[in-house]
Amino acid sequence: MTDTTTRVALVTGGSGGIGRAVVERLARDGIAVGVHYAGNKARADETVAAVTAVGGRAITVGGDVADEHAMAEAFDAVEREFGGIDVVVNTAGIMLLSPIATLDLDDLDRMHRTNIRGTFVVSQQAARRVRAGGAIINFSTSVTRLQFPAYGAYTASKAAVEGMTLILARELRGKDITVNAVAPGPTATPLFLDGKDQAAIDNLAKTAPLERLGTPDDIAEAVAFLAGPARWINGQVLFANGGVA
The predicted structure's pLDDT at residue 2: 43
Mean pLDDT of 84-89: 98
Contact 107, 98 (CB under 8 A): yes
* 243: confidence class by pLDDT, cuts 50, 70, 90: very high
Mean pLDDT of 205-225: 94
* 108: confidence class by pLDDT, cuts 50, 70, 90: very high
Contact 155, 146 (CB under 8 A): no
* 153: confidence class by pLDDT, cuts 50, 70, 90: very high
SS3 for 41-59 is HHHHHHHHHHHHHCCCCEE
Burial class (CB within 10 angstroms; exposed 0-12, middle 13-18, buried 19+) of 202: exposed
- Which range is least confidently modeled, 129-143, 177-191, 194-208? 194-208
Active site (catalytic) residues: 154
The predicted structure's pLDDT at residue 189: 86
pLDDT in tens, 29-68: 999 999 999 989 999 999 999 999 999 999 999 999 999 9
pTM (two decimals): 0.95
Mean pLDDT of 204-226: 94
**Residue 13 backbone zone (phi > 0: left; psi -120 to 50: alpha; other: beta):** left
| Percent with pLDDT over 90 in the chain | 87
Nearest to 59 by CA among 108, 15, 103: 15
The predicted structure's pLDDT at residue 5: 64
- Residue 11: phi and psi, rounded to 5, are -115, 110
Domains of the chain and CATH, by start: 8-189+216-240 (3.40.50.720)
Position 195 pLDDT exceeds 80: no
The predicted structure's pLDDT at residue 83: 97
Position 111 pLDDT exceeds 60: yes
pLDDT in tens, 18-38: 999 999 999 999 999 999 999
| Percent with pLDDT over 70 in the chain | 98
Q: Are strands 8-12 and 58-62 parallel, antiparallel or unpaired?
A: unpaired
- Residue 58: phi and psi, rounded to 5, are -160, 150
Position 222 pLDDT exceeds 90: yes
Contact 227, 131 (CB under 8 A): no
The predicted structure's pLDDT at residue 174: 98
**Amino acid identity for residue 217 in this structure:** D
Position 182 pLDDT exceeds 60: yes
> In the chain, helix, strand, coil percent, each to 5?
45, 15, 35
